[in-house]
Structure 1
Amino acid sequence: MSAGQPGAGGPVDVAPRPLAVAHRGDPYRFRENTLPSVAAALAAGADAVEVDVQLTRDGVPVLLHDPTLKRLWGLDRPVRALTAEKLAAQRFADGQRVPALAEALGLLADHPDARLMIDLDEPAPATAAWRAVSEAGAEDRVLFCGPAAAMFAVRELAPEVPLALTWKQPGVPVAALLADLRPRYLNPPFGLVDRALVERAADAGLAVSTWTVDRRSTMRRMRAAGVASLTSNRIGLLRSVLGPVGGH
């Protein structure tokens, strides 16, 4: 497929270098999915910051990967057991707290070229997440990633928002799925990615994004394979491997 030829996901983006995506912020410096972590990743030159979203008891989207607060925050309670107000009032040992998605969107104001990549593991948070994006006027500052069911929920709400279809199987999804969902990116873990997959994805109208790439050698290998986007816990290292913002 020639560059720009439309496929199931529309024109394939051709960039001088892959996008550098920070995984849950800058988690080697600050606790993942917190405002300091997101802010640090943006300051380090991330093209996008991937954040995870869960819902509180009253349906407010907040930044959290797990359904409970135990692993990250040491509190053995489901996030859905707490209202947004009670969760916001909860301060932990380092003074941090679980932020709302709306607060993370607000950090984009000082970084006009960056985006949030909102990762949804299930369909349930899609409506509230898109409402937060719309209320922030950030429709053109986000993309969504996740498995097919979650991405279909987003697509129904937002026909044009860029989607990255998380895909944990070898090869490329069937054409019928791609035609219905219209993702921009195929989003497999890096262990499934090689140049052959990138070329097959391109034939289907897709660019390839991949995760979670933390070693310099793997970053270079993924870039050589032709991926369009790399997600890493080590945004500073990734930025140094890919070159400065705007570089070639």
Structure 2
Amino acid sequence: MYVRTVAAAAAVLGITLSALAGPASATPPPLRTGGPKAGPAAAPHAGPKAPPLAGLLGLPVVYAHRGASAYAPENTLASIDLAAQLGMDWVENDVQRTKDGVLVVIHDDTLKRTTDVQKVFPKRSPWRVKDFTAAEIARLDAGSWFRPEFAGARIPTLREYLDRVQLNQGRLLLEVKKPELYPGIEREILDLLDSRGWLDARHVASRLVVQSFSADSVALVHRMRPDVVTAFLGAPPEEDLERYAAFSDRINPWFREINAEWVARVHALRGPHGKAMEVDTWIVDDPDTTQRVVEMGVDGIISNRPDLVRRTVYGY
């Protein structure tokens, strides 16, 4: 009922939404990048963005999980380009480090699931990211596993990824992935963010969140850059939440682990920047679950199908 009500209110506030966003469709528009190997100049212009209804109506923000990962290979430039074409402001990614110290965007700590590494380097089992150089990883096909038309897509470096999100006028929810495998990665990520213009006042205020499943990693990022918005991934027991409020602005749990009372308990706390703590939940990919988490009062929804979630919440 709540989602239907706010969707109706959205329609009252702006009957031009359909003109801005185009017709709703379960199938996203074709990716216009000149092919998976295209460089930054081939990126599409950002699609129609959501109007500021979240602020007006208290609706959750929608995040494209690893880009538009239901429709393009996760964490690739193709995936974030498609998220931009779908009109998504925010993309989520995962950051790890190569053997020679280059930050790359990939979820798993091995290359096996999302590349052809077993074919290219058959004797390098278990194919861990940290055991390969950036040049070796650049040789891998990170698209064919998903669909043949994405053959030739690559695992991007974080630098390439940041520049593409910037070109798409996007915002970034960056996950420090398995930091226990990569000592010092937090400082390296912050240094790269700074060098690419992501730690200026404008980005820090509204375009960047750094998160991790490691509380120690989140706390370290907060100590090194107290101005950056941080988030802990997980669902701590209610009695432990106050401890996280010392270094984390958000608690981002799996939707199956929470209820409305837990969300309200998080909202009752103030994070390190003096604001009420927020809750962004993952991975929500269907209308029924979307409605359920909105009714819980979450502040953000992280989805592989962000267009479907947006249509459910915003009504277009």
TM-score by length of 1: 0.85
Q: Which residue type is aligned with residue 171 of structure 1? A: E
Q: Which residue type is aligned with residue 96 of structure 1? A: A
Change (3 A) 1:176 1:90: closer
Q: Which residue of 2 aligns with 1:121?
A: 177
> Aligned ranges for residues 139-218 of structure 1 at < 5 Å?
139=199, 140=203, 141-147=207-213, 148-171=215-238, 173-179=240-246, 181=247, 183-205=248-270, 206-218=277-289
Distance 2:281 2:128 in 1: 29
Task: Tell me by how many angstroms 1:15 deviates.
Answer: 6.1
Distance 1:64 1:159 in 2: 26
Equivalent residue for 2:162, pick from 102, 105, 121: 105
Task: Tell me by how many angstroms 1:120 deviates.
Answer: 1.6
Q: Which residue of 2 aligns with 1:138?
A: 198
Q: Which residue type is aligned with residue 173 of structure 1? A: D
Distance 2:239 2:269 in 1: 8
- Tell me, yes or no, if the aligned pair for 2:62 and 2:309 is still in contact at 8 Å: yes
Task: Tell me by how many angstroms 1:64 deviates.
Answer: 0.6
User: Is the deviation greater in 187-196 or in 227-236?
Assistant: 187-196
Identical columns (%):
30
Change (3 A) 1:184 1:195: same
- Tell me, yes or no, if the aligned pair for 1:122 and 1:149 is still in contact at 8 Å: no
- Tell me, yes or no, if the aligned pair for 2:68 and 2:79 is still in contact at 8 Å: yes
What runs of 5+ residues in structure 2 fail to find an aligned partner?
1-53, 118-124, 145-150, 271-276
Distance 1:221 1:174 in 2: 22
Q: Which residue type is aligned with residue 100 of structure 1? A: T
Distance 2:235 2:212 in 1: 11
Cα root mean square deviation, aligned? 2.1
Cα shift readout 1:207-247 (whole Å, capped 9, x = no counterpart) = 11110111111111111211100001111101211227xx9
Distance 1:33 1:174 in 2: 30
> Aligned ranges for residues 5-20 of structure 1 at < 5 Å?
16=57, 17-20=59-62
Change (3 A) 1:231 1:243: same
Q: Which residue of 1 aligns with 2:134?
A: 84
What runs of 5+ residues in structure 1 fail to find an aligned partner?
1-12
Higher strand share: 1
Task: Tell me by how many angstroms 1:204 deviates.
Answer: 1.1
Task: Tell me by how many angstroms 1:14 deviates.
Answer: 6.0
Distance 2:60 2:263 in 1: 13
Distance 1:38 1:156 in 2: 30
Distance 2:212 2:187 in 1: 14
- Tell me, yes or no, if the aligned pair for 1:106 and 1:136 is still in contact at 8 Å: yes
| Larger RCO of the pair (alpha carbons < 8 Å, separation 6+) | 1
Task: Tell me by how many angstroms 1:172 deviates.
Answer: 5.8
- Show structure 1 runs of 4+ deviating over 6 A: none
- Tell me, yes or no, if the aligned pair for 2:81 and 2:168 is still in contact at 8 Å: no
Task: Tell me by how many angstroms 1:60 deviates.
Answer: 1.2
Distance 2:166 2:111 in 1: 29
Q: Which residue type is aligned with residue 127 of structure 1? A: R
Distance 1:189 1:117 in 2: 16
- Tell me, yes or no, if the aligned pair for 1:216 and 1:238 is still in contact at 8 Å: yes
Task: Tell me by how many angstroms 1:203 deviates.
Answer: 0.9
TM-score by length of 2: 0.68
Give the secondary-structure state (helix, strand or coil) at the position aligned to 1:69. Answer: coil
Distance 2:156 2:242 in 1: 38
Distance 1:63 1:172 in 2: 34
Distance 1:91 1:218 in 2: 34
Q: Which residue of 2 aligns with 1:45?
A: 87
Give the secondary-structure state (helix, strand or coil) at the position aligned to 1:240. Answer: helix
Largest Rg, 1 or 2: 2
Distance 1:18 1:207 in 2: 10
Change (3 A) 1:14 1:201: farther
Equivalent residue for 1:63, pick from 84, 105, 120: 105
Distance 2:239 2:313 in 1: 26
Task: Tell me by how many angstroms 1:89 deviates.
Answer: 3.5
